[in-house]
Chains A and B, each alone.
Chain A
Amino acid sequence: MSPDLTRLTLAQALDGLARGDFSSREITRAFIDAIEAANPALNAYVLPTPERALAMADASDARRRGGSPRPLEGAPIGVKDLYCTEGVRTTACSRILDGFVPPYESTVTANLWRDGAVMLGKLNMDEFAMGSSNETSCFGPPVNPWHSSGSNRDLTAGGSSGGSASAVAANLCLAATASDTGGSIRQPAAFVGKVGIKPTYGRASRWGMVAFASSLDQAGPITHDVTDAALMLRSMCGHDARDSTSLDLPVPDFAAAIGRGVKGLRVGVPREYRVDGMPAEIDALWERGISWLRAAGAEIVDVSLPHTRYALPTYYIIAPAEASSNLARYDGMRYGLREAGRDLNDTYSRTRAAGFGKEVQRRIIIGAYVLSAGYYDAYYLRAQKVRSRIAEDFRQAWERCDVLLTPSTPSSAFALGDETRAKDPVQMYLNDVFTVTANLAGLPGISVPAALDGQGLPLGLQLIGRALDEETVIAAAAELERAAGFAATPDRWW
């Protein structure tokens, strides 16, 4: 009886492939079978691509036999449906892109294939990455592999990268690409007990990623552990002339930062992240995280980020404003859905009403409103100025500390179909309260699974670092991971 290859981490699988313990075809086949068995219950993949996966695996095995393996040679991964994949349907889980087959490949996925990775398929997400529970997907939500103790009620895998989170947690890929505009990598990773990292804005190219809010969107992976996150990130990042905000800087060997430790590192604890009404166990976990890092030699520093409480309202002006502009391209003329109307304007309006879901329409209208004549200064320009103040808060904090430690989310995973959140969009938005600041300031952030709460659900701790200092973030994350020793896995009910 051979071991279950799907239970390996990315690093373990790469070792096994290098030793010749198994081939890429064998591990790819194992994942294809696992997806076939689990996906009807979990809905993590919106489009499995088994034939392509096996063809890529065979090519990879041939390459390895030729003696020139690449960094991710033969490793099967999942791709968020936000990334354009040449010849493979890409919808961002919106009806308006139903049947869209990109004639080109996103830079991030091209980088992963360049490094030898194998694509298992496209992963579920909130429509255009707008959501915190993955319930806005036109394919229906993915399901969190975790259930509360003694309950069989389905929980959200988080959003917007809920499919990526569900797939990694259920061992339906070695690792997955995700994307983060306000917390969409870190919150789902926290909800399923996995690692999610968003690098500094500009580290990874946005070319070929379906755009949501261009000044905030950033690619990153969801993985089993910090080592895997470092490996995936290294392949995903890199300068790209086709994205004008891509940073022309060398990509560090992120994995080399693991084991660097935190001795002498100044870890800031932002007092404004203590939210009233936050469950006591999240507060207690935060305290445990502080003591873990202190015990490992870090110096704990109390810091203030006074504009934190304005981050979410700022985000909900800037992100919808950019979205309303970005989504103007969906007019039913050149690609995607077209609903015929009386005339051109009517065709536009019917196409967009039929193609966009409720939350996307809400955000387009908010965005159009805050950008409209008479409101631009009061809303949009003011939000951009508050964004400056939030970024300035961080610059001040970096004079006193090297990395910040916070909870990842204000709760563990909540139920799908949660009525309070369905009725009041603001309640859903509040889920990103701890993650959104890093997007506004363009900073790297990681969520590391740290414990189970009283209901038996995973909770994460977040580290935020200086711009371009992913290495410190990864070093501290590896220490948190070591100290937490989080090894829990969900019971296989699916």
Chain B
Amino acid sequence: MSSALRARGGWANPALFRGLGNASVSIDAATVRKVAHLARLAIPEERVEALTGELNGILGWIEQLQEVDVTGIEPMASAVATALPMREDVVTDGAMPHKVLANAPRAEDGFFVVPKVVE
């Protein structure tokens, strides 16, 4: 089956497979740069435009959630409705500095070596 066929198709209600170019809200290049900075991702300037288009495609598609009536509905944060288990507040792990540092890009004298943080 061709993908195009699926892109045109839908459920009984064609709204399901609503595709690209349908965004009622859209993000611009400046927002993409800002969010990329917040996420600490260096995006090359020549990639920003294409990425903005891709993100708008995805956001336009998820926009259809706005039509669901969620009045009085509790948000579902976990797949299992159980209280978080509690345990005694005691040390259960540790005393293994060599293991902790074993994968460090740089380590010296039992410490991580990181770029200068304070000016």
Give the B-binding residues of A (Cβ under 8 A).
99-101, 103-104, 201-202, 215-216, 241, 244-245, 247-248, 271-272, 274-279, 307-310, 313-314, 316-317, 324, 331-338, 340-341, 343-350, 352-353, 356, 361-362, 364-369, 372, 378-379, 381-389, 391, 410-411, 414, 418, 420-421, 424-427, 430, 439-442, 467
Contacts and interface: CB of A to CB of B under 8 A. Distances in A.
A326 to B, nearest CB: 12
B91 interface: no
Contacts of A316: 58, 61-62
Given A385-B74, A388-B75, A442-B79, A276 B14 contact: yes
Nearest to B14: A276
6 contacts: A99-B103, A277-B8, A334-B100, A369-B27, A369-B55, A426-B20
B35 to A, nearest CB: 5
Contacts of A362: 51, 54-55, 58
B116 A365 contact: no
With most chain A CB atoms within 10 A of its CB, the pick from B32, B75, B104 is B75
With most chain A CB atoms within 10 A of its CB, the pick from B5, B9, B41, B117 is B41
With most chain B CB atoms within 10 A of its CB, the pick from A215, A277, A333, A381 is A277
Interface in B1-37: 1-17, 19-20, 27, 31-32, 35-37
Given A201-B80, A352-B42, A353-B43, A372 B16 contact: no
Size bin of chain B's contact surface: 35 or more
A324 B35 CA distance: 11
A385 B41 contact: no
Contacts of A424: 7, 19-20, 57
Given A353-B44, A386-B70, 10 more contacts: A103-B99, A245-B79, A309-B64, A335-B103, A346-B42, A352-B40, A383-B62, A384-B77, A388-B76, A418-B3
Interface in B75-89: 75-80, 82, 84-85, 87
Contact of B65 (A275, A310, A352, A425): A310
A324 B57 contact: no
Contact of A389 (B32, B73, B115): B73
B10 A275 contact: yes
Contacts of A331: 40
B58 to A, nearest CB: 6
Nearest to A280: B1
B90 interface: no
B62 A379 contact: yes
B62 A368 contact: no
B80 A310 contact: no
A385 B55 contact: no
A309 B13 contact: yes
Interface of B: 1-17, 19-20, 27, 31-32, 35-44, 51, 54-55, 57-59, 61-66, 68, 70, 73-80, 82, 84-85, 87, 96, 99-100, 102-106, 112, 114-117
A101 B102 contact: yes
Contacts of B2: 420
B57 A385 contact: no
B7 A427 contact: yes
Q: Which 8 A-B pairs have the closest CB atoms?
A: A277-B9, A442-B79, A384-B75, A335-B103, A201-B79, A420-B3, A338-B105, A103-B99
Contact of B35 (A350, A352, A369, A383): A369
Nearest to B75: A384
A193 B11 CA distance: 26
A215 B77 contact: yes
A478 B66 CA distance: 41
B116 A344 contact: yes
A332 B41 contact: no
Contact of A313 (B11, B12, B64): B64
A467 B82 CA distance: 13
B75 A344 contact: no
Contact of B74 (A324, A337, A388, A427): A388
A353 B40 CA distance: 8
A288 B64 CA distance: 33
Contact of A309 (B9, B16, B58): B16
B65 A317 contact: yes
Nearest to A390: B76
Nearest to A381: B75
Contacts of A103: 96, 99-100, 102-103
B40 A372 contact: no
Given A333-B112, A384-B76, A279 B1 contact: yes
A183 B20 CA distance: 23
B65 A391 contact: no
B11 A276 contact: yes
A101 to B, nearest CB: 6
A430 B5 CA distance: 12
A101 B99 CA distance: 10
A389 B72 CA distance: 11
Nearest to A441: B79
Nearest to A337: B105
A356 B47 CA distance: 15
A15 to B, nearest CB: 36
B39 A310 contact: no
Given A309-B11, A313-B65, A425-B58, A216 B77 contact: no
